Homo-oligomer: A and B are copies of this chain.
Amino acid sequence: MNAEIICIGTELLLGQTVDINSAYLARELADLGINLFHKSTVGDNLGRIVPLLRQAWNRSDLVILSGGLGPTQDDLTREAVAELLGEPLEFREEAWEEIVTYFKKIGRPLPESNRRQAMFPASARVLPNRLGTAPGLLVESAGKYLFAFPGVPRELIGLWEEQARPFLKRILTETGHPVLTSKMVRMIGIGESAMEERVMDLIRHQTNPTIALYVGKGDVLLRITARGDSEADNLRRIDALYQQIRERLGEYIYGTDEETLEEVVGRQLLARGWTLATAESCTGGLIGHRLTLVPGSSSYYLGGVISYSNQLKTQLLQVPEAILREHGAVSEATAKAMAEGVRRLTGADVGIGVTGIAGPGGGTETKPVGLVYYSVALPERTVVEHRVFPYNREGNKEAAAQAVLGLLWKTLR
């Protein structure tokens, strides 16, 4: 099954709205094993939408439209589909009732202009939208399918998950399409080429499952994808390959699929019944922010100190003046003293310390921009590492936060 996505909306062509929908749909289609060959964006102009739609309908088995289902004169998706099919738009009582119900639920008056949203081409099916005013639309014709979703991401995702995805899964099964299953393996502490070397033979010799490598922000990712008759079958194949990969790269694998480092270290801390405190200089609070993105993090994360000034390093964290004087604020000794200091100050089981030069200014010959020292203090020992990151200020902060969480994960294993 070959698919095509068309996003409709002038705001997307002005760069005012970033298109989240098409990347979401692309991932979902890949997960279903449906090939996506074209993705395009067009403004709110019937003369440009219709030819594009006709081209898509001719060359693809599945056409997905996003946007243009609102109540205003600019919303032209319904008209475009009607023109494509050569059918008139007709008022659909069932769609109108959905809209009336939605407005009642949110307690707002229903403008007359919303009647437009109940107009559908004769052969189209109405897809009720629980999350907004714009019902979606489905056309089936000669083994081809056309979906139209509202452009609001929450509504599009709702309609996709509740209606389109199950529908397509059923069609794929009925037509004997192979099932696609994949697993993302997340690693930190190894470079892309070093990882590639260790699994090159697997990549070369595997055809099902296949392996693909990606570079994320500070970590490297490996995706295993299997194609087969059933999900259970695929999972068995994926697991066999995953075990081989673990034998070679296990020490770097911190998680799979959508897991984040902050979730993984959260679970490690919970398992030990340990608490954590942070002392951040160059990251300025970003590590605390990431740790607290995890619901329930308050049961292990006490908080900490953003010691952006030397004053707070000495006053709160008790970093000795002598260390700052002799080694400087960006040094192994300072990172270590910060981690140990915040551990002592808060009584946490584990302390983190990070200090560096985010840039663009502040670098020297011996301490360049991007240099970061970071430390994890445990009850029995303290570890320190350093890296030099090549990014801009924001990128260096992000990479530093990821490296610190990576060291914490490694230390708690």
Q: List the interface of chain A (C-beta within 8 A of B).
A: 12-16, 18-19, 22-30, 36-43, 45, 48, 52, 214, 278, 280-289, 291-293, 295-298, 301-309, 311-312, 315-316, 345-347, 358-361, 393-394, 397
Contacts and interface: CB of A to CB of B under 8 A. Distances in A.
A13 B359 CA distance: 35
A174 B241 CA distance: 61
A23 B41 CA distance: 11
A6 B112 CA distance: 39
27 contacts: A12-B39, A13-B39, A14-B27, A14-B36, A15-B24, A16-B214, A19-B23, A38-B40, A39-B42, A278-B285, A280-B288, A282-B292, A283-B292, A284-B293, A284-B297, A285-B285, A285-B292, A286-B286, A288-B288, A292-B308, A298-B308, A301-B308, A303-B306, A303-B308, A304-B305, A306-B306, A311-B346
A97 to B, nearest CB: 24
Contacts of A312: 302-304, 346
Contact of A27 (B16, B280, B297, B345): B16
Count identical subunits in the complex.
2
Given A15-B28, A280-B288, A288-B308, 19 more contacts: A12-B39, A14-B26, A15-B29, A37-B43, A37-B48, A38-B41, A40-B40, A40-B41, A284-B288, A284-B303, A289-B289, A289-B397, A293-B393, A293-B394, A295-B359, A297-B308, A298-B309, A303-B312, A305-B305
B302 A308 contact: yes
Interface of A is mostly: mixed
Nearest to A287: B285
A175 to B, nearest CB: 22
B26 A292 contact: no
A210 to B, nearest CB: 12
Contact of A285 (B22, B30, B286): B286
